[in-house]
Amino acid sequence: MLVRIELVLWHIVHPFSLLVKSLYWASWLLENPLEDLQKISYLDFYTHGFGQFWLLLSFLVSNVPFSMCTGFGWCVTYALVFIAWSLVHFFTKIGTPQPCEGYLQNECPIYSKFDWHKPQLTTIIALLVCLVACPVVCTFYATLASRCRGSHDVQEGRENKTGTGDCEEPKVEEVTVDATAL
């Protein structure tokens, strides 16, 4: 049971961390000129840059299978849970520990880019994340799993490739043993 939980977390953490970090850098680049790259703090660079490097490295050196369909399913599920939580956060006026610009502290959004005070933009972002970004990131990870790290499970002396992006689980042939032949 714990292995299944770990696999679910694996299928959530890796794609979603890349997705969040990519969205962070894309929004930063859209708002700032490239010359301001020198103004990024070490903590922001480490959190949204170097941390992703370590995650990709751990993914490449591991042999944990990654399926495109499973990854997509869990990535979208996690995104929907986050969207639901952000709506609860918005409607119950939880706010943030620090004040933000333009709102009372109890109305501050979790992320300024994902602000339900601007429902049209936030809905578009949510749809893009679920319908575009999740499939793209999961395809990237499935490709890494199948092409770059050579993910194989060896069963009965034969290679059974995993992480190829197929939606079907690998089929295991039933083996019968004739006890009288032994």
The whole-angstrom separation of Cα 57 and Cα 131 is 26
Residue 138 in tokens: 């999961």
Most distant pair of Cα atoms in the chain: their distance: 81
151 close to 66: Cβ distance less than 8 angstroms: yes
Q: Average pLDDT in the 40-57 region?
A: 87
Provide the pLDDT confidence category of residue 152 given band limits of 50, 70 and 90: very low
Rounded Cα distance, 181 and 160, in Å: 28
- Tens of pLDDT, residue by residue over 14-36, are 999 999 898 888 888 888 888 88
For the beta carbon of residue 125, count every other beta carbon within 10 angstroms.
19
SS3 for the chain is: CHHHHHHHHHHHHHHHHHHHHHHHHHHHHHHCCHHHHHHCCHHHHHHHHHHHHHHHHHHHHCCCCCCHHHHHHHHHHHHHHHHHHHHHHHHCCCCCCCCCCCCCHHHCCCECCECCCCHHHHHHHHHHHHHHHHHHHHHHHHHHHHHHCCCEEEECCEEEECCCCCCCCCCCCCCCCCHHHC
pLDDT surpassing 80 at residue 139: yes
pLDDT for res 156: 36
Give the tens place of pLDDT for each residue, 76-93.
Answer: 999 999 999 999 999 999
